[in-house]
Amino acid sequence: MYKVLLVDDERIIREGIARVINWEGYGFSFVGAAKNAMEAYEMIVKYEPQIVITDIKMPMISGLELIKKVKQKYEEIIFIVLSGYGEFELASEAMRYGVKYYLLKPCNENEIIAALNSAKKEIAQREKTQNFISKNIKDLNKVLPLVKEQFFRDFVMNRTYTRQELDYYCNLLKINNEKYMRMIIFEIHKFDDLEIIYILLNIIEDIFRKDRVYFKTIIKNQILILSEYVDEEQLMDLIDEAKKVFADYSDVDVTVTYSEEIEKFEDIPMVFEELQEFLKYSFYLGTGSIITKRDIESYANVKYDKLLVFDYDRVTIAVKSGNTDEVQVEIENFFEQLNKNKYSFSLIKIYCIELYMAVIRGCNSENIGEYIKRTMELQAIDIIDDMYKFITDIAQMIANENQNSMLKRHNAIVDKIIEYVKNNIDDENLSLKWIANNVVYMNEVYLSKLFSEETGEKFSHYLNRVRMEKAMKLLEDPEYDKVYEVAEQVGWGNNPQYFSQVFKKYTGYTPTEYREKFLHNHVI
């Protein structure tokens, strides 16, 4: 059990807290309550509690002075500070001595227990680390790399270390604070094989040389190394070489960023946070890029006051009409503006979702529900190039579906025209205008263009060809021995003479000459 001491100059608060908490039930041993700082210090020396709950404002010696004095000898003791309204400055000053837990008076049982449990977890974690070191100290050379990696991972993730702990690790791991360092982060994108990240780690160690790498660790999909300082030109050569060698093993993208020179080891958590912000700019610069501080500064100086000027309806119309080329042009124009204006990440996501909604408005109403569900996929994307690809792929897919659907409709219309011509070739009124107005009920000009695009032949040429081909067959039939009868069968019954002229122009023979030539060639 962890020992707890309570310090407060108000008796009612001391007795209330001491009585209301089921100390043993929560894994604590309550060693007593002190009414002032002097009495508290004596009890701390006597009982050596792990946790001290203290009022920050007390007569003679304040809680802040007590914390300061205790920390000089017992740095590992965790303080939970009780403060009232208007004592914020004192509470803030306590942060300088590592105080992380504050309770505003009056506080209830649940708030006190929550703070105690948090302190207990912190102590347990500390003990776990210390036990880990103690347990393996006999075989230090074997476990040192693991300890080193764990320490580095914990440290960059901003785990709190006491001065005593930090000094211990710096001494154990031979950390030299007199040398400048650099932190480099390699971030692997979209991989599902852990072997890949260890391949990259081995490549990095070989190229950067192990003796120049002070620390290395893996956090999720990132490899962090802390190396001896090298100038930027040399660093870029090393990074390029590592990326090139890795490319022989995998086509997975690797984004890299690095720090300026690091003078103090204590600054590493802050540097790590800064580099994490740098990596967010792969949203603009793309995966696989090397992101420098200069890249970030070029974006940081941009003011997001220029509105996006874009006609979303043009995209919808292009998608709906199946015009894939126009769809591509509009989407490229949209993303060119995003890159040019360098909007914030959040604003770009809003604009992209608006573009996506314009795209899916062009799809078949039966499918729109499925496309709306995929909006969550778009929201999860954190690279602008991936957003471009996602939206473009969906837009082209819908446009192609619409194009195919229209082709089917167009084919059906043209098939209907051809069938009608076949069945009504003898109709003297047969024309595209008549078919447009009475058969398919469409605009004549549009129908003419559609027929030409689908058949590669103007309707007038098509109608004339069909009539002439049928006339040729009829003239070869002995049953039709009169030219005017043939003319009637192909829609020129009211003008046999004109029929004869058109027939000669088409075949090179008059209808009579054609019949005689055919009969001559087929005499038995």
| N- to C-terminal Cα separation, the chain | 123
pLDDT for 29: 94
**DSSP codes, 84-143:** -TT-HHHHHHHGGGT--EEEESS--HHHHHHHHHHHHHHHHHHHHHHHHHHHHGGGHHHH
Query: Does residue 131 form part of some domain?
Result: no
Query: Does residue 372 form part of some domain?
Result: yes
Residue 9 sits in the same domain as residue 105? yes
CATH number, position 236: 3.30.70.270
**DSSP codes, 261-290:** -B--GGGHHHHHHHHHHHHTTHHHH-TT-E
Query: Does residue 8 form part of some domain?
Result: yes
pLDDT for 189: 79
Of 254, 280, 300, the last residue of a domain is: 300
Residue 248 sits in the same domain as residue 337? no
pLDDT for 85: 66
Number of domains in the chain: 4
pLDDT for 273: 87
Query: Does residue 165 form part of some domain?
Result: no
pLDDT for 320: 84
DSSP 483: H
Tokens of 58: 């007390």
Alpha carbons 383 and 289: distance in angstroms, whole number: 12
Residue 372 sits in the same domain as residue 445? no
Tell whether omega for the bond before 106 is within 30 degrees of 0, i.e. cis. Answer: yes
Alpha carbons 307 and 298: distance in angstroms, whole number: 19
Q: Let me know the angle formed at the C-alpha of 237 by 231 and 240, rounded to the nearest 5 degrees.
A: 135
Domain that holds residue 102: 2-122
Residue 183 sits in the same domain as residue 294? yes
pLDDT, one tens digit per residue, over 389-420 is 999 999 999 988 887 776 666 678 888 888 88
Residue 45 sits in the same domain as residue 97? yes
Residue 287 sits in the same domain as residue 319? no
CATH number, position 11: 3.40.50.2300
Residue 237 sits in the same domain as residue 343? no
* 402 CB-near residues (< 8 Å, 6+ apart): 319, 320, 321, 322, 362, 363, 364
Residue 7 sits in the same domain as residue 118? yes
Residue 79 sits in the same domain as residue 188? no
Residue 392 sits in the same domain as residue 463? no
Residue 20 sits in the same domain as residue 108? yes
CATH number, position 430: 1.10.10.60
Q: Which residues of the chain have pLDDT under 70?
A: 85-91, 133-143, 158-160, 176-178, 191-192, 283-284, 298-306, 406-410, 520-524
pLDDT for 133: 67
Query: Does residue 152 form part of some domain?
Result: no
Alpha carbons 464 and 224: distance in angstroms, whole number: 78
pLDDT for 299: 62
Answer yes or no: pTM beyond 0.85. no
Query: Does residue 107 form part of some domain?
Result: yes
Of 59, 93, 122, the last residue of a domain is: 122
Query: Does residue 410 form part of some domain?
Result: no
Of 122, 145, 162, the last residue of a domain is: 122
